[in-house]
Copies of this chain bind each other. A is one copy, B any other.
Amino acid sequence: MALNTEVAADTNAPAITRILAQFVATHPSRGWSDAVDHEAHRTFLNWLGCAVGAARHEAVGAALSAVQMLQPAPQAQVLGRSDRLDMASAALVNGISSHTFDFDDTHLKTIIHPAGPVASALLALAECQGASGRALIDALVIGIDVSCRVGNIVYPEHYDRGWHITGSTGMLGAAAGCARLLGLDVGQTTMALGIAASQPVGLREQFGTMTKPLHPGAAARAGLMSALMARQGYTASPRALEAPRGLLQVVSSKCDWAQASDELGQRFEISFNTYKPFACGIVIHPSIDACAQLRAQGIKPDQVERIELRVHSLVLELTGKKEPADGLAAKFSVYHGCAAGLIFGQAGEDEFSDAIVNRDDVVALRRKVVATVDESIDEAAADVTVVLRDGRSLRVLVEHAIGSLQRPMSDAALSAKFHALTDPLLGVARSAELIAAAWSLGDSADLHGLTALARP
């Protein structure tokens, strides 16, 4: 028998579980600027396109086959497929799908992908409950605020320790959003957050396997169920987040409590959300962007003698694969990224297909990329000079890549990204209808029209 009664350091943490629950339960509908509300639509649109686009991936198929062993009731739509599942299973599978291409949104302050856990839980619940689009958008803003604020409390120590922060904070965002959508009161919402606190999901060791996208999916499911249980009177500690043996002190040695309440209800973390224009790790984006700009200036691949790339050491450390054998490996090759940017002007899932990665002209061009480390260049920047056969050279310096907070993707670019993801499954016309439905989500009476459009 061994019983240890010592407790961790901070016994005086503010009551953030309750503070956040109060915000979730009582903040007014659309109690934010039009810019925040528009950002919520952008977040939803981007998440939806990613989920539909990956629907045929084998990870989604495997998860779906497992869930079907439970003979689930047809309550909610699996995006991009004909299947319907009970709402918790739909939250799981759509959450997996939305993160499978690693093409979803990023809260850069914490590297959280916030929509996966939150939107996946909310759409399934909203569809099943007949909630309005406005209620969903409200819950999305609020749920993402909760998970990202919690991320701000513990980042970076929590992430450095090995947690995949998307899934280890996402269940709280999903619980918060679902509590809001269910109309739970402050006490019940406190319990929902408390129940979810015991269920963090995700290890960085899983990166590169199907279990990485399981993290937002399982977090979506856990958060949704936590809210349903709280509604039925299930109890948890009202200090489940902040107590010495509560979630945050257990999973992080850094706990900056003020991040929970600073400008709560005034500053919304969804404002800091970003969307990837390119279907690969974010450190390659400035290099792709620079090469796409060179293409826009009229440079053709057959004019190129070599491409001189100067980047921070981290870029080569993370994405230094010179000869990627397939699409997955190419996502870790800044060389392939440069070739794709110059040849195609873009780098979506298509440009990371095995066929493209092994196409002769692509292979030839990436071999002309000469990368040099320059620590004076920021991790988020790239300095690219193309030297042409005729002796001329052109230089493009990208300080902030397209898709960064400083240079956000335009609404049109987000729609185009959506088309590229969904046209192969839904066709161009249906994709356009789905895009329109997503842009006007806040005005829709319910979600049935939107989910029907996401069924091929």
Contact = CB atoms under 8 A, between A and B. Distances in A.
A263 interface: no
Please indicate which of the listed interface residues A58, A167, A204 has the most CB atoms of chain B within 10 Å of its own CB.
Answer: A204
A349 interface: no
Most buried by B among A59, A236, A247: A236
Report how many copies the assembly holds: 2
Quick one: which of A201, A210, A234 has the most chain B CB within 10 A? A234
A203 B314 contact: no
Given A66-B232, A194-B211, A209-B236, A162 B245 contact: yes
A195 B201 CA distance: 10
A283 to B, nearest CB: 7
A282 interface: yes
A159 B4 contact: yes
Which among A200, A205, A229 has the highest number of chain B CB atoms within 10 Å? Answer: A205
B194 A234 contact: no
A245 B70 CA distance: 32
Interface string A405-440: 000000000000000000000000000000000000
Contact of A198 (B72, B75, B202): B202
Contact of A69 (B197, B199, B202, B228): B228
Contacts of A208: 237
Highest count of chain B CB atoms <10 Å: which of A58, A59, A233, A239: A233
Contact of A72 (B5, B86, B202, B283): B86
A276 to B, nearest CB: 12
Contact of A197 (B161, B203, B236, B379): B203
A206 interface: yes
A302 interface: no
Contacts of A233: 58, 62
Nearest to A379: B1
A380 to B, nearest CB: 5
A275 interface: no
A75 B86 contact: no
Interface size class of A (residues with CB under 8 A): 35 or more
Contacts of A2: 111, 155-156
A280 to B, nearest CB: 14
A131 interface: no
Contacts of A69: 87, 228
A322 interface: no
A24 to B, nearest CB: 18
Contacts of A204: 245
Interface string A74-91: 010000000000111100
A281 B194 CA distance: 24
A316 to B, nearest CB: 12
Contacts of A205: 197, 237, 239-240, 243-247
A237 B204 CA distance: 10
A364 interface: no
27 contacts: A2-B111, A2-B155, A2-B156, A4-B156, A8-B162, A58-B233, A59-B235, A62-B232, A63-B232, A66-B231, A69-B87, A70-B73, A72-B72, A72-B73, A162-B245, A162-B250, A163-B250, A164-B198, A198-B215, A203-B247, A205-B245, A206-B237, A206-B240, A211-B235, A211-B240, A214-B229, A214-B234
Given A62-B229, A71-B75, 7 more contacts: A167-B198, A194-B206, A195-B211, A203-B246, A211-B234, A211-B237, A218-B222
